[in-house]
């Protein structure tokens, strides 16, 4: 249980750091979510938004970040 608590704390700190970065650089990160391949549909009060391309790019960034730290071990 101790390890789970640490991971939750690490996840929370990472979420705060990412939130601060996105808040400070929101004008420069406006392209996130507006890439070709991001699906937007809507009519009236119903809107559907699925950022497919943005999710793929985010997944690749996280993957290479983790692989880099595994390589450092």
pTM: 0.58
Beta-strand ranges (E) seen in the chain are 39-43, 46-50
Query: Would you write out the chain's pLDDT as a tens digit for each of its 73 residues?
Result: 778 888 889 889 988 988 888 888 878 877 777 788 888 898 889 988 888 898 898 899 989 988 988 888 7
Positive or negative: CA dihedral 27, 69, 37, 40: negative
Tokens of 16: 């705060």
List 46's β-bridge partners, or say none. 43
**48 contacts 42 by C-beta, under 8 angstroms:** yes
């Amino acid at each position: 249980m101790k390890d789970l608590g640490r991971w939750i704390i690490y996840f929370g700190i990472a979420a705060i750091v990412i939130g601060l970065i996105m808040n400070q650089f929101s004008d420069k990160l406006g392209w996130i979510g507006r890439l070709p391949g991001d699906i937007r549909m809507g009519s009236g009060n119903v809107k559907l938004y699925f950022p497919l391309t943005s999710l793929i790019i985010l997944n690749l960034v996280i993957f290479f970040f983790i692989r880099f730290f595994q390589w450092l071990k």
